[in-house]
Structure 1
């Protein structure tokens, strides 16, 4: 697994101590047209998303899909999650939104959610900004979610990259004294000269080696386009990494690109936070590798939570509502509607009753 910089490395190289204490994992993920009718497996997205406490999401096409992701996360983790989504941004008929998604036990939204006004019309998709706080320590962080235009060449991307220095400076006015992070998909590697203006403002990339876009070959990644740029020395950043989610879900890259995303998420840990990115039990497109079917009237939580849309918390509800005459009876469980029952039937994982 490719490793990024840590607070210790920043302090050694730059001679600036990390000062702020907090305990949370912050991630960013391009979710490849989240909300389009494209067969995306929200349950698989949720399995990966549970690994961080606060997310900046790009390529959100429908706010309702983010709500579905919240539902999946709450079922999977047994905790409350919240989200907020920007209005659609973009110059052409193609437009998309940004979303923030967070675990309520660890993070709270504090203030300042706003889409950048972009007085010079520099961005094809204006960044979305907000301030959050670690719920235990009160440590605040200001985030800007960004999706840089791809264009026809790298030269088309560099004007927006250079303009991020203005966003960085503006954030210090909107969120004075708050550590800043710019999160997103930049379509440009962090070693390109276009980043120099942002570096001159004191920002550094969390990930400096490796790659985040999925190539067609399993286990191989093409470009380091996704990143978190952060205030050097103002947060106790204790780790950073790229989440190779196809391996965690036992998916080929072709499958992962089709039903999850063509980008891998990245994250930083702050303070004593421990990321929760783990392999999915019985993973293979989210289906059980066991040859035995799942009897919904008899199976334990550990088997029931292998079903689509059923995590550990919802598995307890499934057990509570027994017995069932058929799979359709699962609609009496909160959060399992007719469409989710159809997904469960289609999985072929449930025994005939």
Structure 2
């Protein structure tokens, strides 16, 4: 490619922006845990990578851990402002968990949310579904469905998650949905043979972007793909850029022992490239000047 042509391509492609959606099992997140300096520092750095993050296994009964974490996040590196959206406490017994969304509020807003009505009590922790706006004319909104399964019931819960998808897509008349969270979808909890029989695997349209075999666990002694992200919808899938587990111990130079103070899971992330190509925007003066300079080279006389 000639340099002028390459430069023009970069100019015209500059309308696309990355938008990162994450899920993280924070392993029994309490006020006492976030009050520890290294834990707080690491959690903030993990959260600041994401435009939307769904924290799972928040078990803070005081109600103070999330406001404290949000305060420190909004003080960090000018990456905010962030806001939060929390589910009610969910569970079947005295052990209760909360799903918490952290989202960068100058880029996205919550349009609506609800706890899935689990009439048959299939889920230990019902999905806390939320619809978010996106800064894109191609995909102006997206539905997120987080789920933290229990290991012994992972197969049943993941089969029921297909029913949640159907209900959610009908509720909002949208097929652009992301299912995400600690599905316990590997190793002893769910063998590959059983995993591949799930409707979410056999029915066309569901794209599992965290690949089988990718380790989402911190311990060197384990290698399991427990945490997953599943995309559905043509527009959503067309914007897919990257997806992976985030190896925070390596990135932040933590020992395994230090990392396990944070969680025994890696966060999982998907990055969308939100192109504004479908909207016609006036070119800036700078771009017009560059195009005028490039035009003799782009259109040579025969």
Measured against the shorter chain, the TM-score band is: 0.7 to 0.9
What is aligned with 2:53? 55
1:164 matches 2:166:
no
The count of residues paired between Structure 1 and Structure 2 equals: 244
Q: Which residue of 2 aligns with 1:241?
A: 244
Give the corresponding residue for 1:264. 266
How large is the RMSD of aligned CA atoms in angstroms? 2.1
Residue 124 of structure 1: aligned partner: 124
Q: Return the match for 2:180 from 176, 180, 183.
A: 183
Q: Is 2:176–2:234's contact at 8 Å kept on the other side of the alignment?
A: no
Q: Tell me which residue corresponds to 2:13.
A: none
User: Which residue matches 1:65?
Assistant: 65
Cα deviations by residue, 1:291-317 (Å, 9 ceiling, x for unpaired): xxxxxxxxxxxxxxxxxxxxxxxxxxx
Deviation at 1:157, TM superposition (A): 2.0
Map 1:173-252 to 2 at 5 A: 173-189=170-186, 191-194=192-195, 196-199=198-201, 200=203, 202-208=205-211, 209-215=213-219, 217=220, 222-235=223-236, 236-252=239-255
User: Quick one: distance in 1 between partners of 2:53 and 2:273?
Assistant: 17
Runs of 4+ aligned residues of structure 1 deviating over 2 Å after TM superposition are 36-40, 135-138, 189-196
Deviation at 1:22, TM superposition (A): 7.1
> Equivalent residue of 2:32, what SS?
coil
* More helix as a share of residues: 2
Q: 1:201 to 1:176 in 2, by over 3 A?
A: farther
Q: Unpaired runs of 5+ in structure 2?
A: 1-15, 276-302
Which residue of structure 1 aligns with residue 11 of structure 2? none
Q: Give the aligned partner of residue 297 of structure 2.
A: none
SS in structure 2 opposite 1:74? helix
- How far the C-alpha of 1:224 sits from its partner, in A, is 0.6
CA change 1:119–1:201 in 2 (3 A) is farther
